[in-house]
Amino acid sequence: MSAAPTAQLNALVSVWSTLDVYHGGLAVTTTGLLRLVNSGNTTQFTGGTNVCDGNWHWIEWGFADNTGGTGYQQCWADGVVQWSGGTANLQAGPANYLTLVSGATQTWTIDDFFYYDGGVGQAPQWANQPLGPRQIDVGRPASDSLIQFAPDSGGVNFSRVNEVAADEDASYVQSATSGQADEYTLGALGFTPVTITSIQHVIRAKNPGAGSVSYKHRCHSGATTSDGSAIVTPSSYQNSRRILDQDPNTGAAWTGANLANAKIGQTVV
């Protein structure tokens, strides 16, 4: 954040339920400190680190409604505890989605925002916080492994789907045959990860025909081929995403070596 707000901000990140009930959020004081607010925007906890100094800060925030347990309120800024384990007067009931709220008196920038659900029975969990600073990088198709889709031109499939910015119909691969698949090796990351929290597989696809066809995200790691859920291909280009917190071949967290050897692609249902 470029500077502390001139008026206290009620929420930078707001938490809501599927019934559009506001549960509370992560807010900022006029002195640049993080604060936890409840559904009435009443301060429950206030941190001690100034995050409105024009510098980048790594913020980790754990939030649970009253139903989920009051001991899970926790927050770190650059690894320093802002609050942890206290009781907050929050809205009861499940909190299911987030909104990011702009400020009128300063510029604030979020980079590499991600969240995870403590109700899912695999890492990361509450007990894993703080995760510490993370870096997000992109691995694009770098070579062909299994090729059954037809490229729009040329004979190298990976080169038709590895552009930085999507070029839509300028380059692509296609198939309408059930069971056909493409798998690609990925280019090296720009760094060597010590630990990997998660990978996200992104596919951009459309169906140019009149009929219906579905596809699945595919990850081939070691001896294991793991497909995601079937997705109906839309009539205009749209992105779909599959999150893989664990290596499907080992059932454990990804290692750099296993990710480097994995193949990513798609298959027709």
At 48 the pLDDT is: 97
SS (H, E, C) 12-56: EEEEECCCCCEEEEEEECCCCEEEEECCCCCEEEEEEEECCCCCC
In a domain, 1, yes or no: no
CA 210 – CA 259 distance, rounded (Å): 37
* pLDDT of amino acid 269: 97
pLDDT, the chain, mean: 89
pLDDT at 139 (0 to 100): 94
Tell me the mean pLDDT in the region 69-74: 69
- Summarize pLDDT for 76-104 with one digit per residue, the tens: 999 999 998 777 777 777 777 888 887 66
Residue 2 counted as domain residue: no
φ, ψ for residue 47, nearest 5 deg: -80, -175
State yes or no: pLDDT of 226 exceeds 90: yes
110 and 176 belong to one structural domain = no
pTM equals 0.79
**113, 213: one domain:** no
Please give the pLDDT value at position 77: 96
User: Sorting pLDDT into bands at 50, 70 and 90, what band is 67?
Assistant: low
Does residue 84 sit within a domain?
yes
Residue 147 counted as domain residue: yes
Q: Is there a domain that residue 3 lies in?
A: no
Question: Does residue 240 sit within a domain?
Answer: yes
Look at residue 68 in the predicted model and tell me its pLDDT. 52
**Beta strand segments in 108-232, E:** 141-147, 150-151, 173-174, 181-186, 199-205, 214-221, 224-227, 231-232
pLDDT digits (tens, 9 = 90+) for 132-141: 888 889 999 9
For 203, other C-beta atoms within 10 Å of its C-beta total 20
Query: 86 lies in which domain range?
Result: 9-128
Q: Given this model, what pLDDT does residue 131 score? A: 87
For residue 15 the two structure tokens come to: 């938490």
Provide the residue type at 192 as one letter: T
Point out the domain boundary residue: 96, 128, 160: 128
* Domain co-membership, 167 together with 252: yes
For residues 203 and 150, membership in a common domain is answered with yes
Bin 145: left if φ > 0, else alpha if -120 < ψ < 50, else beta. alpha
| Domain finish residue from 128, 150, 171 | 128
- Are 168 and 193 found together in one domain? yes
Residue 204 has pLDDT above 90, yes or no: yes
Strand-strand pairing, 9-16 and 33-37: unpaired
Same domain, yes or no: 146 and 264: yes
User: For the domain that residue 174 is a member of, what is the CATH number?
Assistant: 2.60.120
What pLDDT does 71 receive? Answer: 57
- Residue 43, number of CB atoms within 10 A of its CB: 14
Query: Both 146 and 262 in a single domain?
Result: yes
Same domain (yes/no): 161, 113: no
Counted domains in the chain: 2
183 with 124, same domain?
no
Same domain, 107 and 150: no
Query: Which residue would you say has higher pLDDT here, 39 or 214?
Result: 214
pLDDT by residue (tens digit) across 141-197?
Answer: 999 999 999 999 887 999 999 999 999 999 999 999 999 999 999 999 888 888 898
Domain assignment present for residue 31? The answer is yes
214: pLDDT strictly greater than 70:
yes
Q: Tell whether 136 is covered by a domain.
A: no
Asked if residue 258 and residue 149 are part of one domain, the reply reads yes
The whole-number pLDDT of residue 69 equals 53
Q: For residue range 99-124, what is the model confidence (pLDDT) as tens digits?
A: 888 766 677 888 888 887 777 777 77
pLDDT tens figures, 3-42: 888 887 777 899 888 778 888 899 999 999 999 998 888 8
For residues 164 and 242, the answer to whether their CB atoms sit within 8 Å is no
* Residue 71 and residue 185 in one domain: no
